[in-house]
């Protein structure tokens, strides 16, 4: 069977290299079509066609499975279908216009660490699109960029997005694909970027919606620079994406980390112990800062404010001297001492490697040092991945729905190359090139930090 390959056909098929021009069809044949440019070919296909008007003999029916023959040549298609005789159809004026008006083909992927509101955000995008047009196809790439690289995708239906507003995780899976490895060959030896572009064009996507954090955003911007239509939605519990005040998943993680600190309060006071609650955040401390304040932590240690162990111990001793039997520390997993902060890059990496070898995390090193210097009994609690799991909180459900709905309006307007952000409590579009590769860190002079110090919270500085 010969397959049609004209770049503007409604149906997409591999390039035909056959030199013959006799093409059989039901009820007759197409013979001796002039050899102007591309070799004539026939497309034999079954699909759910979009609802389109009859165009010079080419009739397409939505929700109808049928066979049709198209012979492609240059900028025209010679058609024979069940409704009319062969006719020449200019692709550039008719089929392309009809496809643009009646069908949207959207790719979607979730990349990096998961969080609670990924499904809710995808739901917002799809509900916005289906409300605007009934003719839309959503292709979900499985396990993030890996699915886009290796062509692992599936056509999603309305039932896939039903009942997922409150469901955590992601229905299409996720994985980490570091930007620094995107230019290295894949496992099969193929160029990853070229493979992603090929699969994008293979499906003739109008847009690729990408949900993810900083690393994901960098690759999204790379694909934009390669000519793909991209919309990015900011996902991370760390709230560290530059250009947006908030990311979805952040508030849900705050709630979980805060609850962990709340639960520690009772046992800490009962036993008169010092407790360290380790909160997620390798490079930034937004989550630890917010959860620490909300949970009533006495000491908050974050990467942006290197700590002095002597001052940490002094804060614990001061509480003891004031009759406080317990102390709670909220410590970001990426917290560093002033000594480490003063090291050059090479020394810093060596110190990190030694810490990882000697202790499960920085919190255990802190516990050992505090006990050695104060004699206090210290326990470490690590909520870990529970901070990324479970159902999204109501705030995140609202935020993710708004972000997804706004993304759908950008798609319908064909405005691509943007991240959907929340700025000054309004949903706005931000150019990907203006925010990709930048990190939103906690400023030590931030008002939240200063007010926390006002009420006696120590940052170990």
The residues that are catalytic are 238
304 vs 290: CA distance, rounded Å: 14
Q: Kindly report the CA angle at 267 between 266 and 273, in degrees rounded to 5?
A: 120
Q: Residue 431: left if φ>0, alpha if ψ -120 to 50, beta else—which one?
A: beta
Q: Coil, strand or helix: which one is 142?
A: coil
d(Cα 86, Cα 304) in Å, to the nearest integer? 70
Q: Which uninterrupted H or E stretch holds 332?
A: strand 327-332
Rg, Å, the chain Cα set: 28
First to last CA, the chain: 74
Q: In terms of Cα–Cα distance, which of 38, 48, 52, 35 is closest to 2?
A: 38
Distance (Å, rounded) from C-alpha 125 to C-alpha 461? 44
Q: Considering only CA atoms, which of 119, 111, 125, 108 is closest in space to residue 206?
A: 108
Token output for 73: 């040549």
Strands 69-73 and 274-279: unpaired
User: Left if phi > 0, otherwise alpha if psi is -120 to 50, otherwise beta: which for 449?
Assistant: alpha
Is there a contact between 370 and 378 (Cβ–Cβ < 8 Å)?
yes
CA distance 295 to 259: 7
* Token pair listed for 382: 């690590």
CA atoms of 232 and 416, how far apart (whole Å): 9
Paired tokens of 142: 């499985």
Helix%, strand%, coil% for the chain, nearest 5: 40, 20, 45
- 416, 207 in Cβ contact below 8 A? yes
């Amino acid at each position: 069977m010969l397959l049609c390959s004209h770049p503007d056909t409604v149906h997409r098929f591999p390039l035909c290299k056959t030199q013959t021009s006799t093409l059989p069809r039901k009820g007759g044949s197409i013979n001796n079509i002039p050899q102007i440019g591309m070799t004539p070919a026939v497309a034999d296909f079954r699909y759910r066609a979009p609802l389109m008007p009859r165009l010079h003999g080419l009739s397409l029916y939505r929700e109808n499975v049928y066979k049709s023959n198209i012979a492609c040549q240059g900028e025209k298609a010679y058609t024979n279908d069940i409704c009319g005789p062969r006719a020449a159809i200019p692709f550039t004026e008719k089929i392309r216009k009809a496809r643009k008006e009646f069908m949207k083909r959207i790719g979607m992927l979730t990349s990096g660490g998961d969080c609670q509101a990924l499904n809710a955000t995808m739901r917002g995008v799809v509900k916005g699109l289906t409300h605007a047009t009934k003719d839309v196809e959503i292709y979900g790439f499985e396990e993030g960029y890996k699915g886009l690289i290796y062509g692992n995708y599936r056509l999603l239906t309305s039932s896939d997005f039903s009942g997922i507003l409150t469901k955590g995780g992601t229905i299409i899976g996720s994985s980490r694909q570091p930007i620094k490895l995107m230019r290295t060959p894949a496992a099969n030896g193929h160029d990853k970027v070229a493979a992603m572009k090929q699969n994008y064009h293979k499906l003739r996507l109008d847009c690729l919606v990408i949900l993810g954090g900083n690393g994901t955003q960098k690759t999204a911007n790379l694909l934009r620079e390669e000519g793909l239509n991209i919309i990015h939605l900011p996902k991370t519990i760390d709230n560290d994406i530059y250009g947006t005040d908030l990311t979805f998943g952040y508030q849900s993680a705050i709630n979980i980390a805060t609850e962990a600190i709340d639960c520690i309060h009772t046992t800490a006071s009962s036993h008169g112990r010092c407790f360290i609650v380790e909160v997620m955040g390798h490079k930034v401390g937004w989550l630890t800062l917010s959860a620490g304040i909300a949970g009533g932590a006495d000491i908050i240690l974050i990467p942006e404010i290197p700590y002095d162990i002597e001052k940490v111990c002094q804060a614990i001793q001061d509480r003891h001297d004031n009759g406080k039997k317990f102390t709670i520390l909220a410590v970001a997993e990426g917290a560093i001492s002033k000594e480490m902060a003063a090291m050059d890059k090479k020394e810093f990496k060596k110190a990190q490697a030694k810490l990882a070898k000697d202790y499960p995390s920085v919190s255990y090193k802190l516990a050992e040092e505090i006990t050695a210097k104060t004699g206090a009994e210290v326990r470490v609690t690590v909520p870990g991945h529970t901070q990324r799991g479970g159902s999204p909180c109501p705030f995140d459900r609202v935020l993710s729905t708004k972000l997804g709905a706004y993304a759908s309006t950008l798609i319908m307007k064909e405005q691509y190359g943007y991240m959907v952000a929340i700025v000054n409590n309004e949903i706005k579009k931000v150019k990907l090139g203006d925010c990709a590769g930048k990190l939103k860190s906690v400023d030590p002079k931030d008002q939240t930090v200063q007010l926390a110090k006002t009420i006696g919270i120590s940052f170990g500085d």
